[in-house]
Amino acid sequence: MENSAASIEKLFERIEQYSKTSLDLYKYSAIYETAALFSSLAVKLIMTLVIFIVALLFTIALSLWMGDILENTAYGFLIMGFFYIVLGVFVFLFRNTWIKTPMSNFVIKSFELPKH
């Protein structure tokens, strides 16, 4: 009787240890996936910032160059302003295809559990 009671107690201890280990594993996996997601987003944010600065400087240079050609600096900036309005309309019209869906897929793929 004592032997079976000890065996059952040992079984419960193993089950408890297995549960704690599994919980720790899921916790560490969630931490790893979250860190991977945020580091990927940080890289994308930095790259976007660099591209933005380059585009801004390129736009100013192009505006000044067009202004020299048209002999009025304001016309160069006006043309570039209209260009960005048209670009903004296109981005707005295709925002789901170009931005929302790819970002949603990126986040979902970042949190997928590994297949065994």
84, part of any domain: yes
For the chain, the domain total comes to: 1
Q: What pLDDT tens digit does each residue of the chain (116 aa) get?
A: 567 778 888 888 999 999 999 999 988 888 888 888 888 889 989 999 999 999 999 999 999 999 999 999 999 999 999 999 999 999 999 988 888 888 888 777 776 666 65
Q: Are 70 and 76 in contact (CB under 8 A)?
A: yes
Q: Are 67 and 77 in contact (CB under 8 A)?
A: yes
116, part of any domain: no
CA distances from 33 to 40, 61, 99, 105, 111 (A): 11, 42, 22, 15, 6
Query: Rounded distance, CA 25 to CA 23, Å?
Result: 5
115, part of any domain: no
pTM of the model: 0.59
- Domain span holding position 22: 2-110
